[in-house]
């Protein structure tokens, strides 16, 4: 898979534009931290971006370079901040190879690699599946887009500040209609509609849970029950808005079925089905039952702690994390009725190389212990 190149280093992408913001502290204003002040007064600023600007010498106070975000503002201070403004949001067709399982006049079935974002957004403008699909469908000119937003009700992915599906479908030039999504680091099968009618009919199947979807996940620890159901309402984590969590109050109903396929000395291979389709549902539910996905840094699976306390288990855990340095989650099977002919279509994908290698390593460790 080709990776996206940062736009400021690629002459084919619009360059970033420097914007200078100047503020004067009023005599009656109480002193506050410099980074806090700039975060509050600058449009669309975040604390991390402001702190980065200070570290890069892009903030001046009374014509002197500010070195610490903790510096308190004083009456009559003149603060100047130079920030690189991204160009207007647009969809840029990119010649990125696609692993196509099936294609006809109504739809396209893709085997998405781990590492590829599905929808473009302000943080992921290039190298996404939509960029690749535009090129595949013959689009060559960039398409300006203004509408952005986010959704909590899709499969396994929710990129911050991503472009909404309504914006993608609003223009006749934008053909890709992503029916369901996968998280950036989740691999596997997904379907793309080529027209609005096909998109609506496919989306209805996903909403009504008549489409067949099965995921494979490698989780830390030994899952005791051969089959089980995980229930717990999901919503934004009160501690970190970018993460999802099982909530005691509020949230949306989320139900995940699982079946144990193989048990190893320190991890378990699961097949999972979603009764609901919430953001990061599998990842959060598995972490909730103390079996986070191997390699899932965001939800506690990036540590070998769950591999056990013995030196042997810890060593295996470290090897697994090197083999699959992302969440071990793969959308293996997808089935649905064709939106035009109504016949049933079903697709199955092989595990990607990193996932397969991690499984083989776990199996070798079991064999070594037995022998």
Among residues 155, 183, 185, 354, the one annotated as catalytic is 183
**Residue 131: per-residue pLDDT:** 92
- Separation in Å, CA 362 to CA 88, 112, 245, 357: 47, 25, 29, 9
Tokens of 29: 């204003």
**Residue 174: per-residue pLDDT:** 55
- Separation in Å, CA 21 to CA 24, 41, 84, 86: 10, 10, 11, 15
Percent of the chain past pLDDT 90, that is, above it, reads: 65
| Nearest alpha-carbon partner for 150 in 245, 250, 244, 37 | 244
Could you tell me the pLDDT band of residue 313, with boundaries at 50, 70 and 90?
confident
| β-strand partners of 257 | 229, 273
DSSP string of 36-85, one letter each residue: HHHHHHSTT--HHHHHHHHHTT-EEETTEE---TTPBP-TT-EEEEEEEE
pLDDT at residue 160 tops 50: no
Could you tell me the pLDDT band of residue 312, with boundaries at 50, 70 and 90?
low
**Residue 72: per-residue pLDDT:** 95
Could you tell me the pLDDT band of residue 170, with boundaries at 50, 70 and 90?
very low
pLDDT at residue 186 tops 60: yes
DSSP string of 203-249, one letter each residue: HHHHHTT-SEEEEEEEEES---SSEEEEE--EEE-SS-TTSEEE-SS
Which of 3-12, 39-48, 239-248 has the weakest average pLDDT? 3-12
Select from 3.30.2350.10, 3.40.605.10, 3.40.50.2000, 3.30.70.580 the CATH code of 212-370.
3.30.2350.10
**Residue 268: per-residue pLDDT:** 95
As to burial, measured by CB atoms within 10 angstroms (0-12 exposed, 13-18 middle, 19+ buried), residue 11 is exposed
| Nearest alpha-carbon partner for 276 in 241, 236, 327, 230 | 230
pLDDT at residue 340 tops 60: yes
Q: Which 8-state DSSP code applies to residue 338?
A: -
Q: What number does CATH give the domain 17-85?
A: 3.10.290.10
277 close to 268: Cβ distance less than 8 angstroms: no
pLDDT at residue 26 tops 70: yes
The CB density around residue 146, as the number of other CB atoms within 10 Å, is: 9
Could you tell me the pLDDT band of residue 10, with boundaries at 50, 70 and 90?
low
Average pLDDT rounded to a whole number, residues 110-120: 93
Residue identified by tokens 């934004």 is 236
Could you tell me the pLDDT band of residue 158, with boundaries at 50, 70 and 90?
very low
pLDDT tens, 188-205? 999 999 999 999 999 999
Average pLDDT rounded to a whole number, residues 202-210: 93
Q: HSE-up of 234 (CA within 13 Å, CB side)? A: 26
pLDDT at residue 88 tops 80: no
Encode burial over 259-283: b for 16+ CB neighbours within 10 A, e otherwise.
ebeebbbbbbbbbbbbeebbbbbbb
38 close to 79: Cβ distance less than 8 angstroms: yes
Average pLDDT rounded to a whole number, residues 307-321: 75
More confident call, 186 vs 52: 186
Alpha-carbon distance of 255 to 278, in angstroms, equals: 9
Alpha-carbon distance of 261 to 30, in angstroms, equals: 62
3-state secondary structure of 259: strand
| Nearest alpha-carbon partner for 132 in 319, 1, 303, 289 | 1
Domain range summary for the chain, segments of one domain joined by +: 17-85, 89-207, 212-370
More confident call, 61 vs 124: 61
Instruction: With residue 362 as reference, give the H or E element that holds it.
Output: helix 353-370
Average pLDDT rounded to a whole number, residues 286-298: 95
Domains 89-207 and 212-370 share a fold: yes
Active site residue 183: yes
Could you tell me the pLDDT band of residue 7, with boundaries at 50, 70 and 90?
very low
**Residue 176: per-residue pLDDT:** 66
pLDDT at residue 153 tops 60: no
Could you tell me the pLDDT band of residue 305, with boundaries at 50, 70 and 90?
low
Could you tell me the pLDDT band of residue 308, with boundaries at 50, 70 and 90?
low
Tokens of 347: 């697709």
Could you tell me the pLDDT band of residue 341, with boundaries at 50, 70 and 90?
confident
Could you tell me the pLDDT band of residue 161, with boundaries at 50, 70 and 90?
very low
pLDDT tens, 211-256? 999 999 999 999 999 999 999 999 999 888 889 999 999 999 999 9
More confident call, 322 vs 14: 322
Tokens of 65: 């370079």
Helices (H), 69-213: 129-136, 165-170, 196-207
272 close to 212: Cβ distance less than 8 angstroms: no
Which CATH architecture group holds 89-207?
A: 2-Layer Sandwich (3.30)
The CB density around residue 125, as the number of other CB atoms within 10 Å, is: 22
| Nearest alpha-carbon partner for 334 in 230, 202, 219, 231 | 202
Q: Provide the mean pLDDT of the chain.
A: 85
């Amino acid at each position: 898979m080709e990776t996206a190149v940062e736009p400021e280093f690629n002459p084919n992408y619009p360059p970033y534009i420097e914007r200078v913001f100047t503020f004067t502290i009023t005599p009656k204003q109480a002193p506050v931290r410099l980074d806090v002040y700039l975060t509050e007064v600058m449009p669309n600023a975040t604390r991390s971006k402001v702190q980065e600007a200070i570290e890069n010498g892009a903030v001046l106070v009374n014509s002197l370079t500010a070195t610490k975000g903790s510096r308190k503002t004083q009456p009559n201070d003149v603060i100047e901040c130079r920030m690189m403004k991204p160009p207007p949001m647009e969809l840029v067709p990119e010649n990125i190879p696609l692993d196509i399982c099936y294609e006809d006049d109504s739809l396209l079935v893709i085997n998405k690699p781990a590492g590829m974002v599905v929808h473009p957004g302000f943080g992921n403008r290039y190298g996404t599946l939509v960029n690749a699909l535009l090129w595949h469908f013959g689009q060559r000119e960039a398409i300006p887009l203004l509408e952005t937003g986010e959704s909590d009700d899709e499969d396994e992915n929710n990129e911050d500040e991503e472009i909404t599906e309504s914006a993608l479908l609003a223009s006749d030039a934008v053909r890709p209609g992503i029916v369901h999504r996968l998280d950036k680091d989740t691999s596997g099968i997904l379907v793309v509609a080529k027209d609005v009618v096909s998109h609506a009919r496919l989306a209805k199947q996903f909403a009504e849970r008549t489409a067949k979807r099965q995921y494979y996940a490698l989780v830390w620890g030994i899952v005791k029950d051969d089959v089980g159901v995980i229930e717990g309402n999901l919503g934004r984590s009160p501690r970190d808005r970018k993460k999802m969590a099982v909530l005691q109050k509020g949230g949306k109903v989320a139900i995940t079925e699982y079946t144990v396929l193989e048990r190893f000395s320190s991890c378990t291979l699961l097949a999972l089905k979603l009764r609901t389709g919430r953001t990061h549902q599998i990842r959060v539910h598995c972490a909730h039952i103390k079996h986070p996905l191997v390699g899932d840094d965001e939800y506690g699976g990036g540590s070998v702690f769950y591999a056990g306390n013995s030196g042997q288990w810890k060593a295996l855990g470290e090897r697994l994390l090197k083999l699959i340095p992302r969440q071990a989650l793969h959308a293996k099977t997808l089935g649905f009725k064709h939106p035009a002919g109504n016949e049933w279509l079903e697709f199955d994908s092989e595990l990607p190389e990193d996932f397969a290698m991690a499984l083989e390593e776990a199996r070798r460790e079991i064999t070594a212990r037995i022998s």
